[in-house]
Chains A and B, each alone.
Chain A
């Protein structure tokens, strides 16, 4: 996020929420958004479903899934046509504006509305509301990124914020709400094929030299391969050995069948895990690591805020801290890594990562910080951290407009698979639910998978609310309970992705051409009523 949760919820006049259902995916943020609406902030929701916040919104644009780029371009078209852009901001702080103007020219309200399946009048109202607000943040989540055009969606939203000068101020900004607790940290820490910690590119010779010197070793200079691109390479034998740390791609990757085929073709698979997950079952060796309550460390939340994790308990048995495990593997493979405490590891991180230069466990535990964490960039021990990015100046100097054209999703409904399926999170579970399904009460409330479908589609199939149905795509077939309502648009269905017998058997592994994010949000399916016979075959 460019801003903080606090400023976007307490200091904003208008909030543009797109492709995000924070009440379920990020509940405490959702609570603060409800407070913002109570306080009088106006809310624009752009989402294909009637999420709860849509009922509190001033404008709800029930966008056809996968049309975010067109939506943003349409908003910008209207803003430019009505002269609502922030001229001074564009002139002083941005470049490539003409290319943007050219790109959005064709996105008239009528054309945009037709692509997105919405009312052009409401789109115009939304554009005016956003552009004329003194302070208005854009918030988005996986509903924007989990598309084959996800990166373009993000770029288009940045264009929109820059066009209206809504960056670098409290109550504004472009705010991706990261999914898992430490996605932000995982990216920051250099678990990335092309970047060292702090987004330092390994193709930059100075950066490479710095790390080679600090680590005392000549490193491989060839950028690596993204995780999602690794799976096909396992099947072709280019990747032979893999260590997976605490992930469960069998359950969380799109196109489960494909992943189950890839992992066994490895020569050697090692999994560092808490539980015998579906992925761990495929391993040659399982190494038992520790949960967050059994170790010291830090997480970085979606605000770039580095906060402490503290050890509360130890459990019986032979589990080991994960840093100890990695250190032992390094030593046994011939790299003389000394055993370090988490606090010492953070010292090494801050010595090599300029944006973490002022972050240490001692400082995070100090009275000065007072349990409020530190937001990077925090370059020096006396730097207070950076709550809001791009104040007065962008990291690269001028903000660059990167116009993007709308492209339809990879797999759209057709005759054989006439319905569109979206996937997402529900309140009670987290991703593969290896953690949440150990709580009895949670399973009692949200124990099984379901599919939301539109009343009219259900009527055509003679499916009643609560009935079990068969769902198939080109990749797999599952059953789930039908929840019939008008929450989705006609022709569209929605499923949670937490359950093992769930949606990832159906989803498609088409990847965003730039970031390799799987297209979880959109694929084509067929729903069938179970007959007496089929009931037993599933």
Chain B
């Protein structure tokens, strides 16, 4: 099908939404509630566009393209509608960006900047509510929530737990998260996918308060726990991994579980790490620190003596099935060449 977006001719498949057609063509339309394949409630009204011959503005995320449609994504009318939508959203958002952990990473803040709106000027003003600590990883601050329902849809459709509900308090819609009292009997499995998809600072991992967006670098890697092989970014601040975020890998499509998101970095620089070679004193049985040359010479001397006296079959080397391919390759090469043995195995069976 052929449409015109801002005067440019564009071909798309039938059934495509205006939003998708525009994004495929590299044309930017802002969104806050939309999440592809997960959330399509069309409530934030930031993606509105003007179509020639239509009186009302259309939400691009929920409008399928039609043959010959002529769409404007940045007409003055569109821009002023988006500014109005933003002010409406801000009216229920306790904007205090300076102290908010999501400062610099917040999608609401980013769209405000794009449309020249100062969040603090239009944001709700009330004393910040004290959040009490219940859930070990996650917190929800209703005064920051813009009711986009991304978290609800994420938990329902992506995680598949349905641990977050939509509720009502009087006339107002509210989000019912499982992070308060009773968290330990809820359906929540602490995966944090809802926090990752929350556009504001309303749902965050508690540790998010320990760094700001501009202080960190990110390194793409593979989760060290199970064989799903989820892709993730290690978030590094001052040479330490302080957080993990899900990346769009082929086997995980942006999702992580609690082990990947919360159980894969505290151990890296843990005080319990062994940091120098240790040799056991045969007399006392206690481990004593040694330098590498001493430790490696001792290892080589003992293994060489066993090999030369009893043959390579008296030596063995087991690999870790959690380590890298390159490590494992070198381990088995060491056993076969230096040990002169084929007694090498991994814990695949164990």
A residues touching B (Cβ–Cβ < 8 Å)? 4-6, 25-32, 34-35, 38, 177-194, 196-197, 202, 211, 215, 217, 219-220, 222-228, 230, 238-247, 249, 252-253, 267-268, 270, 273-276, 280, 283-288, 291-303, 305-320, 322-323, 325-330, 332-335, 337, 342, 345-346, 348-349, 371-373, 427-430, 434-436, 438-442, 444-445, 515-518
Contacts and interface: CB of A to CB of B under 8 A. Distances in A.
A136 B346 CA distance: 31
A441 B275 contact: no
Given A317-B275, A434-B267, A284 B280 contact: yes
Interface residues of B, number: 114
Nearest to A430: B225
Given A181-B223, A245-B331, A315 B275 contact: yes
Contacts of B241: 293, 312-313
Smallest CB-CB A-B distances: 4 pairs: A301-B229, A317-B275, A34-B160, A297-B324
A439 B263 contact: yes
A351 B10 CA distance: 47
Given A25-B226, A326-B334, A330-B338, 18 more contacts: A4-B250, A180-B321, A181-B229, A186-B348, A191-B331, A192-B332, A220-B341, A239-B313, A241-B314, A243-B334, A249-B347, A287-B295, A293-B221, A305-B229, A315-B269, A329-B334, A430-B225, A439-B267
Given A275-B272, A435-B263, A438-B266, A337 B324 contact: no
Contact of B267 (A291, A311, A373): A291
B226 A26 contact: yes
B168 interface: no
A326 B222 contact: no
A182 B321 contact: yes
Contacts of A371: 220, 231, 247-249
Nearest to B349: A517
29 contacts: A26-B226, A27-B191, A32-B253, A38-B160, A182-B324, A182-B325, A183-B227, A191-B318, A191-B319, A197-B332, A228-B350, A241-B306, A243-B299, A243-B303, A247-B347, A274-B274, A284-B280, A286-B274, A299-B229, A300-B229, A313-B268, A317-B276, A326-B331, A329-B299, A333-B304, A440-B266, A442-B263, A444-B136, A445-B190
Contacts of A327: 330, 334
A329 B324 contact: no
Contacts of B189: 27, 427
B40 interface: no
Contacts of A342: 324, 326
A93 B231 CA distance: 37
Contacts of B306: 240-241, 267-268
Interface in B297-350: 297-300, 302-304, 306-307, 310, 312-350
B115 interface: no
Q: Is the interface of B mostly helix, strand, loop or mixed?
A: mixed
Contacts of B345: 191-193, 224-227, 230
Contact of B322 (A6, A181, A429): A181
A185 B328 contact: yes
B280 A189 contact: no
A183 B346 contact: yes
B255 A28 contact: yes
Contacts of B273: 274-275, 288, 315, 317, 319
Contacts of A230: 316, 318, 343, 345
Given A191-B344, A441-B190, A308 B220 contact: yes
B350 A181 contact: no
Contact of B338 (A313, A329, A440): A329
B342 A193 contact: yes
Contacts of B302: 241, 267-268, 284
B265 interface: yes
A222 B339 CA distance: 13
Given A240-B310, A438-B270, A440-B136, A180 B325 contact: no
B6 interface: no
A215 B333 contact: yes
A224 B249 contact: no
Contacts, number: 484
Given A245-B318, A293-B234, A306-B325, A274 B349 contact: no
A442 B253 CA distance: 24
A26 B268 contact: no
Given A225-B316, A318-B276, A253 B350 contact: yes
Given A291-B267, A318-B292, A299 B222 contact: yes
Contacts of B324: 182, 185, 292, 295, 297-299, 309, 342
Contact of B318 (A194, A242, A310): A242
B325 A298 contact: yes
Given A28-B260, A181-B223, A190 B332 contact: yes
B184 interface: yes
Contacts of A313: 234, 236, 239-241, 268-269
Contacts of A285: 277-280, 295, 298-299
Contacts of A178: 227, 348
Contact of B219 (A197, A311, A316, A434): A311
Contacts of A211: 336
B268 to A, nearest CB: 5
B258 interface: yes
Nearest to B345: A227
B252 interface: yes
B159 interface: yes
Nearest to B343: A224
Contact of A333 (B161, B228, B268, B338): B338
Nearest to A5: B251
B231 A307 contact: yes
Contact of A185 (B228, B239, B270, B325): B325
B275 A28 contact: no
Contact of B229 (A34, A223, A302): A302
Contacts of A26: 226-228
Given A335-B337, A515-B349, A240 B263 contact: no
A348 B236 CA distance: 31
Contacts of B4: none
A322 B258 contact: no
B122 interface: no
Nearest to A279: B318
A516 B225 CA distance: 24
Contact of A518 (B159, B257, B327, B350): B350
B55 to A, nearest CB: 37
A319 B275 contact: yes
Contacts of A202: 342
B262 interface: yes
Nearest to B160: A34
Contacts of A196: 332
B312 A188 contact: no
Given A35-B158, A197-B332, A246-B323, A179 B304 contact: no
B316 A179 contact: no
A145 to B, nearest CB: 8
